[in-house]
Structure 1
Amino acid sequence: MVTPKFIAPTTSFYAELKSRTNAYFEEIGSHPTGNYKLYIKAAVLISSLVFLYVHLVFLTPPVWLALVECVLMGGVTAAIGFNIMHDGGHGSFSRKKWVNELAGLTLNILGANIHMWTTKHNIIHHTYTNIDGVDDDLDAKPFLRLCENQEHLKIHKYQHYYFWGAYAMLYMYWIFFTDYAKYFTQKVGDIPIKKMSRKDHFSFWGFKVMHFALFVVVPIYTVGFLPWLVGFLIYGMFTGLVMSIVFQLAHTIEHAHFPVPTESTNRIEDEWALHQLKTTSNFATKNKVVSWLTGGLNFQIEHHLFPRISHVHYPAISKIIKEACAEFGVTYHEYPKTRNAIMSHISHLRQLALQPVMAQR
């Protein structure tokens, strides 16, 4: 489909948000990118991944401990994506461009590709959030139906039971299939990706080979095929489950909007900032452990409005955004606990399991 347009801003809402947020950073004398807290976290996460990998692959722990470490390594992998790669990919990890690029390359080391992700996430998802046919994050066909204007298949009747399994396969499906599909078609859905330079092609294949060597060839050589297979499946499935749940709780819950462009004009009826608030939700923002592990992705409203601000600042600017929303009469969606958001997501899937396809406008 042709990408839709948003109506021009009719209020000063977003301008006011930017003004207040800029004033906050001027007041505290800080840059909106990452700080020492983020750099310490990055060091802890990367060190943890290296330790777990070396211990599993070269030191052969007992079976019970190896299984636990595979789960832990999956969680650490997801956390590196949330905290390091995500900020780096948005240019918010550091004030230095090369540091952001280095942080973004952690995605390549873990099997995916930052060039593909930048088009899929930064350009498409952040602009056209929850617009079916454009936002690739909504495309889980044929396994899941994530919004009401998607085709309803018989299998979807049970999606609120089996979605855990589908989510667990995300990471492996991503690194072994969808990256290659995007590479060879040079598209994310129907939208062309940014033209790849010779360096981008070299990076794609070089890191894919490196990941395959590190996570497939070397472990099979050191521990054997069957132990590797069991361990890699546990690791990959837990990584995929954690990643999927965190991202789905931001946009596919009960109250979220899934706007359909007006057919005659191909326009979304809201200005961009209001669209983000209608399609996005926060969860467990007072839980410091959740915030630390998810890289502030439980503050999705703040992230979608200000993607170039590092997640370490989200707790502070969330107060500014909440206050402005109250003044302008804009709804600010938030779940107090992670389990509340998960139950809302399950309820959303259950409703879609029963609803017919929404009539197009």
Structure 2
Amino acid sequence: MATPKFQAQKSSFHAELKKRINTYFQETGISTTGNYKLYLKASILALSLIAIYIHLVFFTPITIIAILECIVLGGLTAGMGFNVMHDGSHGSFSKIKKLNDIAGLSLNVLGANVFMWNTKHNVIHHAYTNIDGIDDDLDAGPFLRLCESQKRLKIHRFQHLYFWAAYSMLFFYWVFFSDYQKYFTQKVGDFPLKKMKTADHISFWAFKAIHAAFFVVVPILTVGFLPWLIGFLIYGVFTGFVMSIVFQLAHTVEEAHFPVVSQPDNRIEDEWAIHQLKTTANFATNNKVITWLVGGLNFQIEHHLFPRISHIHYPAISKIIKQACAEYGVMYHEFPKMRMAVASHVSHLRQLSRA
């Protein structure tokens, strides 16, 4: 599918939003990127991950403690992705490009690849959110049907019951298959990757080898194959589920829109900012613990409208965006509680499971 065009507006809603947000940062005199709060959080997450890893691999505790530490390690891995890598890859972690690059590379250390992520997430998902056939995040086939335009298979009758198992496999699929598929085909779905430089090729293979050494070879040598396998499965399952559910709650819920591209002009009926608001939802934005843990991704609307602003500013700018939406009569999807978003997601899967 050729990438569609959004409706052009002489006086766009997006322009008004940018004007109000720019005024906020000018009047407060603060930077749009991260500050000491983000750097402190990044340090806590990184040091905790290293400490848990060392204790598990080199000072292996009793079984029940080891299992709990594998779960915590999975949570910390997801937390590094949400809080550090995500801001870094969007260029919002720091004013300093090198620090953003380093933050983004944390994804490579944990097994995936930031080059592939940038195309899949920053370029495709953020531009063409919830457009089937383009947004790769909607491609969960054959196990899940995430929008009405996707073909319904017999297995989908039960997707609202087994979705958690599919989500739990995300980490393994991403690290051990999806990245390689993108690398060798040089595509994300049908969307071509940016041409990789020699340094990108070296980085891809070097970090894959480093990850295999630290998360496969070394643990097997220190604790044995079977304990490593059990621990790695627990770690990967928890990592994958947490990552999946956070992103799914933002876009695949009953309230979210899944635009169909009009033909033959190949256009989306809305301007880009309206499209983002229709296809995105927030959840639990008053819960500071969830906000801290998921890197502000529960403020998904703010992130999609202003991806180059660090997540530490989302609570503040959300008030401005809500006010603008109220004035312009634009829907602003938000679930007060995370459990309400989960219920809506499950209901969405159930509806799509039916013929």
Could you tell me how far 1:146 is from its partner in structure 2?
0.2
| AA in 1 matched with 2:344 | S
- Can you give the 5+ residue segments of structure 2 that lack an aligned partner in the other structure? none
Within 2, Cα distance between the matches of 1:175 and 1:139? 17
What is the match of residue 300 of structure 1? 300
- Could you tell me how far 1:12 is from its partner in structure 2? 3.3
Secondary structure at 1:105's aligned position in 2? helix
| Aligned-residue RMSD, C-alpha | 0.6
Residue 319 of structure 1 corresponds to: 319
Equivalent in the alignment of 1:36 = 36
Aligned-partner residue type, residue 265 of structure 1: D
Q: What whole-Å deviation, never above 9, does each CA across 1:186-239 have from its counterpart, x for those lacking one?
A: 000001011100000000000000000000000000000000000000000000
Which residues of 2 match residues 254-273 of structure 1 at below 5 A? 254-273=254-273
Aligned twin of 2:22:
22
Q: Which residue does 1:48 correspond to in 2?
A: 48
Q: For residue 16 of structure 1, report the CA deviation from its aligned partner.
A: 1.2
In the alignment of these two chains, the number of paired residues is 355
1:28 Cα offset (Å) = 1.1
Cα shift readout 1:69-126 (whole Å, capped 9, x = no counterpart): 0000000000000000000000000000000000000000000000000000000000
Distance of 2:253 and 2:167 partners within structure 1: 15
What's 1:248 paired with? 248
**Aligned counterpart, 1:222:** 222
For 2:235 and 2:125, how far apart are their aligned partners in 1?
27
Q: Who is 2:289 aligned against?
A: 289
C-alpha separation in 2, matches of 1:12 and 1:209: 47
Letter in 2 for 1:122: N
Matches within 5 A, 1:146-165: 146-165=146-165
Tell me what 1:199 maps to: 199
Mapping of 1:1-361 within 5 angstroms? 1-9=1-9, 11-355=11-355
Shift of 1:349: 0.0
Displacement after TM superposition at 1:10 (Å): 5.1
Task: Find the aligned partners of 1:315 and 1:278 in 2 and give their Cα distance.
Answer: 20
Q: Distance in 1 between matches of 2:57 and 2:42?
A: 22
Distance 2:150 2:331 in 1: 26
* Whole-Å separation in 1 of the counterparts to 2:9 and 2:98: 35
Q: CA deviation at 1:255?
A: 1.1
Question: Any idea what SS the aligned residue of 1:196 has?
Answer: coil
Among the aligned pairs, what percent are the same residue? 70
Residues in 1 aligned to 2:19 and 2:148: alpha-carbon distance in whole angstroms: 37
CA distance in 2, matches of 1:226, 1:12: 58
Aligned residue for 1:359? none
> In structure 2, what is the Cα distance between the partners aligned to 1:331 and 1:152?
29
Q: Which runs of 5+ in 1 are unaligned?
A: 356-361
After TM superposition, the score normalised by the length of structure 2 is: 0.99
- Give the conservation status (yes or no) of the 8 Å contact 2:283–2:298: yes
Shift of 1:64: 0.4
Q: What is the one-letter code of the residue matched to 1:108? A: N
What SS is found at the alignment partner of 2:180? helix
